[in-house]
Chain A
Amino acid sequence: MRIVAKMHHLTELETFMEMNLDVFLLETPYAKAAKHPFSMDDIKGLTASVHRQGKKVYLLMDRMIHEGDLSGITGYLSEVSSFVDGIVLADITVAIILQKLGAPRIGIYQPGPLNTHHHIASFVQDLGMRGWVLAPELTLSEIESITSVDSGVEIGFQGFGHIEMFHTRRHLLTSFFTHEAQSFDPQATYFLKEASRQEYYPIIESEEGTTIYRPIMSSRAYLDRLRACIDDVYLMRLDIDDDTYFQQVKAYLTGDFSLIHEEGYSIGYLEKMIDMDPEVGS
């Protein structure tokens, strides 16, 4: 099982190298809610360094692709596809373009809640991808059931951090502040809270829309079982301070969580089967 961690700055390369990180995940301009996109030159340089250590680089390109993006993203993919190891995508358009470019199998399909059963693997394979990331809403037993079928493609899981639960093309914060005749500070940190729950949901607005995340989840208690069936465990970084994140990455890499404090973290859906067919009230 490889640990995939998100890098924010070039200066972090040494830190992650010392940890012996398996996969370096880098934001691109085509990443959703991108706050730390790397330039093409930086990606090239980083990839060369990471490959020298026998490790991998994945690029995050998980935006929904609209008609106006097609030309730019095709050019971008034609350049990066020759040297990175994986491209994490949410829209199959990226995979189709990679196929048309004759790129190697580097696409990794991560469309949020859509990857929920083992037959998706053949769809992924058919689109020329190397892997897929399971829906974060699956229980551990569902994960084990899916992965018990030999699919021939790699399987990932988001095992730590704030996991996305909503993404819109709308600029919700800008709209709100305009409506309230207040000013929106794009540099500030915003959270939502639902009145009856003691939890906070990070909300981020970028040019391409607004994204909302669940509270932090951790799968540390299930690592042994995940190790048996998952190829890539993704450690998400949003709204986690650098030191905490580095400690988590190290712990997931070594399996030593003795110094980790996780009070208030959830286990996501790993043991939570939700209702398929409730009474819908409206």
Chain B
Amino acid sequence: MDEIGVKSLGIVLLTGLFTGMVLALQSSVQLKTFGATMYIGNLVSASMIRELGPVLAGLMVAGRVGSGIAAQLGSMRVTEQIDALNTLGTDPIKKLVTPRVLAALIMLPVLTVINDFVGIIGGNIIAAFVIGLPTSQYWRTVWDQIAADGFTMRYIPNDFVQGLSKPLVFGGLISITACYFGLGTTGGTEGVGVSTTRTVVTSSILILIVDYFITQLLLSVLSYGA
């Protein structure tokens, strides 16, 4: 939990902050042509909460934590430590996989919320200092956007449902992929490198593909704009 959550915080904070900032900066150029820079808050919040927050946190964790899990379990496999667990009467799945999957399931949504929040603050910084939009107005448009996207069960914003269900799935994807490739390592230390690379590539691609399908599913299930 500490490894996946706390130690990934720095990288996620940086990613979130700069994504929010660049999002605000880029969109300000486009919005300016329509004289609509006041809607920057809407754009940043919708993009961050629905898409960029979960996906970027997912990709960062896949790179940082997924690779770590694969390398750790891979080297345990090639040095016979997994066999040792088995012979000492312990189920390696229970001992090694379950806690990692649980930690990822819990920590990825937490990291995503932080990522979203820091991204929106990044947008706020650009809005205030580059575009000259008052902070109060920025935050009002952020909230307007969340409210405009509708609510599930009256009180839960649809954006939050989308923004939190995705990292939950991504957390599972990353940890299971990493454990699968890690435990399946063969071929000594070279094999550990192969498993690590496969984990990062596979989980990153899976995140992007699964993100599309979750979005499509949720857009049809949740009553957007209602």
Q: Do A and B come from one complex?
A: no
- Which A residues are closer than 8 A to B by beta carbons? none
